[in-house]
A and B are shown apart, each in its own frame.
Chain A
Amino acid sequence: MSLNYVIAMLLITLGLYCLLFKRNLIKLIIGLSVMTDGIHLFLISMGYRTGGIAPIVTGESTSNLPNFASRAVDPLPQALVLTSIVINICITAMALSLSIYAYRHYGTLDPSKIRRLSE
């Protein structure tokens, strides 16, 4: 299962690289989104159990609950990731709205040129 963790760390590094070195506001937003996707992948693959089943309690699984609980994948990180995805939607929507206003005021999407507040 370590391939999942390697890919997750790769995504986080790529997202961080985009956030630090790119010169377009839309690319910065994409980098932030890629980085949080890497963190979500890391979270979900932590709860994985080899040869596991989905953690949905149906009628026939209540008859043998200890067996079900020992084979089911952990559902808590999945709930955490759902909440975090929704928070990410809000941040992306707000960043895109601010970028639309920045283009109207400054005429460019380059973050090094959006600089009217002096030091």
Chain B
Amino acid sequence: MIPQAPILAIVVPLFSAFLMPMIGLLSKRYNIDRACDWFAVAAMVGTLIIVASMAPTVWGGQIIVYKFGNWSPPWGINLAIDALSIQMALMIAGLGTLVMVYSVAYMQRDSRRDLFYTLALLVITGMMGTILTGDIFNFYVFLEIMSVASYALIAFRRDSSGIEAGLKYLFIGSLGTSFVLLSIAMLYSFVGSLNIADLGAKLAIYRGAAQPVPTILVASLALFVTGIMIKVAMVPFHIWLPDAFTAAPTAVSALLAGPAAVVGIYWVARLPYLPFGLPVGIILVSLGLLSMIVGVLMALTQRDFKRMLAYHVISQKGYMVLGIGLGTLGSVLGAQGGLFHLLNHSIYKSMLFMCAGAVLYRTGSQKFEELGGLGKNMPLTALTFLIGSLAISGIPPLNGFVSKYTIYLGGIEAGLPIVTIIAVLVSALTFASFFKAFSSVFLGQRPKHLRDIQEAPKLMLFPMLAMAVVCIVIGLFPALGFNVVGPAQAAAENSAGYIGHVIGGI
């Protein structure tokens, strides 16, 4: 492990974001064209190396605890990294690198690219901070960093639809984070500490309904779950997501669809065990089912490419929340399926958004009626879109099938076969929707004004093909995925080990 690795994983993107305006000024004076882009990619590669160096230590069974300024918990802020955090951190770092390489090619027609990279690196910093921290107010600060940077990124091109989507996201997202702040205030007034491990230790007497739970704790849990669900865009709080992903530049949609779902699902996976120990399984299962059904039904009627993909994001996030909810009802396979589905979904959803972005970059339109027959012009884009569609519908031998099959088995194992039936139906409807999308964009008659469209630039093709290869590899060798997800799911349940390492071991 590189020394001081946990804090460097947050500090490297943050200080690169601070330095980016200066590099922008220098590159304009000395006329170097793409200095900002390659500096951002180098910062992300550095973060990936730092996170990967922490992985073997954590998978060996040890929880890494890092104290800020040598103040020991619970008086100081500390970072605590266990197997669940390391899975999320690896996904954010890896996908972030690929999205940065994609945006080098996608944003080259925009001016003020140094501001874009500053905001994108701040979003990555915020995500890393929420995953790695062990203090609940520190989590709130990093969540706000991530949210405010993404409000600005969505309205980046300052056209009318971007401003509208940014305003909508800003008001609904700020409401969500104020609920989280109120929940933290109530929790602090009741318990007296802000450290997650300390909260888990002090609230352990209410686990298992040994004593009646006081009302302020129930109110705090309700506000916290509501705030997180607004951020994860579960139905009925999903109103901001389709507009935001349609109006944003597609590189931003790829960044927010893949990694930003990670933050919400990480906290949904931690919630039933730490810091509250109260049962929330039924809420998660019902919200997950509702999101799955509403998401796919709304996606079937869309005529805009990116809007259809945005509704599918809601539907797939419903799968993940459903899996984790089944895990709290006693099914180990359900929780593993939920976490595995998060891993796969981030890969193929970013890839699908990148394909839509490549089509938009070359043709300038994103509605189904204006596109058609592009399979001859852009064969590699069509191939990656086909792999992504098969993966999201759960067709073997791709990775989507492995994670969805695990969730189906989890439903049967938890004693709720109705859940499995609904999940299979939603998969079939997803396949129908993507079949329609693929045939109307890449097959069929080609309009005359699209005759000379070229293939997407090489820098865009490289991340898409890399993600497609990963999809096929995880589909053929699912043991690779289960080596990552199994320890993560065990670490989420092992709250006593977490508390012992953070407080007892120091």
Contact = CB atoms under 8 A, between A and B. Distances in A.
Contact between chain A and chain B defined by CB under 8 Å: yes
Interface of A: 12, 19, 25, 28, 32, 35-36, 39, 42-43, 46, 76-77, 80, 83-84, 87, 90-91, 94-95, 98-99, 101-102, 105-106, 111, 114-117
A117 B243 contact: yes
29 contacts: A25-B167, A28-B171, A32-B171, A36-B178, A42-B182, A42-B185, A43-B188, A46-B185, A46-B188, A77-B185, A77-B188, A80-B137, A87-B141, A90-B148, A91-B174, A94-B170, A95-B170, A98-B163, A98-B166, A99-B167, A101-B155, A102-B163, A102-B167, A105-B159, A114-B167, A116-B160, A117-B161, A117-B164, A117-B246
A84 B138 CA distance: 11
Contacts of A39: 178, 181-182, 185
Given A102-B163, A117-B164, A19 B185 contact: no
B427 to A, nearest CB: 25
Contacts of B243: 117
B390 interface: no
A41 to B, nearest CB: 10
Contacts of A95: 167, 170-171
B294 to A, nearest CB: 13
- Identify whether the interface residues of A are mostly helix, strand, loop, or mixed: helix
Given A102-B164, A116-B161, A117-B164, 7 more contacts: A12-B182, A19-B175, A42-B182, A46-B189, A77-B185, A98-B167, A101-B163
B141 A117 contact: no
B247 interface: yes
Contacts of B160: 105-106, 116
A95 B144 CA distance: 14
Contacts of B182: 12, 39, 42
Contact of A87 (B144, B161, B164, B175): B144
B225 to A, nearest CB: 18
A23 B346 CA distance: 38
A80 B181 CA distance: 10
Contact of A94 (B141, B152, B159, B181): B152
Contacts of B246: 117
Contacts of A114: 164, 167
- Identify whether the interface residues of B are mostly helix, strand, loop, or mixed: helix
Interface in B182-200: 182, 185, 188-189, 194
B309 to A, nearest CB: 15
A79 to B, nearest CB: 9
Contact of B181 (A25, A84, A116): A84
A91 B148 contact: yes
A83 B135 CA distance: 15
Given A102-B163, A116-B164, A117-B247, A19 B155 contact: no
Nearest to A44: B185
A68 B189 CA distance: 21
Given A116-B161, A117-B247, A32 B174 contact: yes
Contacts of B164: 102, 114-117
Best-surrounded residue of B152, B171, B194 (most CB of chain A within 10 A)? B171
A43 B167 CA distance: 28
Contacts of A106: 160
B158 A101 contact: yes
Contacts of B166: 98
A35 B178 contact: yes
A111 B246 CA distance: 19
Interface string B127-166: 0000000000100010010001001100100111101111
Given A19-B175, A106-B160, A114-B164, A98 B170 contact: yes
B178 A98 contact: no
A102 B160 CA distance: 7
Contacts of A76: 188, 194
A114 B137 CA distance: 35
Contact of B165 (A43, A90, A91, A117): A117
Contacts of B151: 94, 98
B114 to A, nearest CB: 18
B185 A105 contact: no
Best-surrounded residue of A36, A84, A102 (most CB of chain B within 10 A)? A84
